[in-house]
């Protein structure tokens, strides 16, 4: 696996707090730990991580960046998994349904879920400089949204919060 530009040989804060994609961490260990948790979760659910599904999840885990379905497909084709869009879309849909990937609507792309099996409602922080995506805790934002909605008599079933800006590295370079 490749390392993100935000990596070092330091202890892996990303594994303990994977929402901190912008911090330096051992990305290989972070991705390996997340993949192991995802595999265990699917075993508990009696589901199978087929070779294509596993490779798609690995591709998403290789960097803290959102990838479009065609970017994933091109990687799969290069590795001999098939060249039809449904190959990538089916795997991405499965991963999203199982809570192992998130769809980033603003980018029409996907990122690996860094908290597989944990109930959470993340806020996605998207860097406009390097396209890194961090999955930040969103409980406070969700509570505020719920309160505002209830004030208007509205019941929120689901919400996705995506914020764009610059990560610390891109901000420092600006």
Q: Which domains does the chain have, with CATH numbers?
A: 13-173 (1.10.10.10)
Q: Are 10 and 25 in contact (CB under 8 A)?
A: yes
CA distance 159 to 174: 32
Q: What is the pLDDT of residue 24?
A: 59
Against a cut of 0.85, is the pTM above it?
no
The pLDDT tens digits for 107-120 are 999 999 988 888 88
CA distance 146 to 91: 32
By CB neighbour count within 10 A (0-12 exposed, 13-18 middle, 19+ buried), where does 118 fall?
exposed
């Amino acid at each position: 696996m490749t390392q993100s530009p935000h990596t070092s040989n330091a202890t892996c804060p990303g594994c303990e707090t994977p929402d901190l994609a912008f911090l330096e961490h051992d990305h290989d260990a972070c991705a390996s730990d997340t993949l192991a948790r995802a595999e265990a979760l699917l075993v508990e659910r009696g589901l199978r991580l087929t070779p294509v599904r596993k490779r798609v999840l690995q591709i998403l885990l290789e960097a803290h960046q959102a990838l479009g379905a065609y970017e994933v497909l091109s990687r799969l084709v290069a590795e001999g998994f098939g060249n039809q869009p449904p190959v990538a879309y089916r795997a991405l849909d499965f991963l999203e349904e199982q809570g192992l990937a998130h769809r980033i609507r603003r980018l029409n792309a996907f990122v690996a879920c860094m908290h597989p099996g944990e109930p959470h409602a993340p806020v996605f922080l998207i860097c406009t400089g390097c396209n890194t995506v961090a999955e930040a805790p969103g409980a406070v934002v969700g509570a505020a949204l719920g309160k505002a909605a209830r004030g208007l008599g509205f019941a929120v079933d689901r919400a996705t919060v995506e914020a764009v800006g610059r990560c610390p590295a891109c901000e420092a370079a600006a």
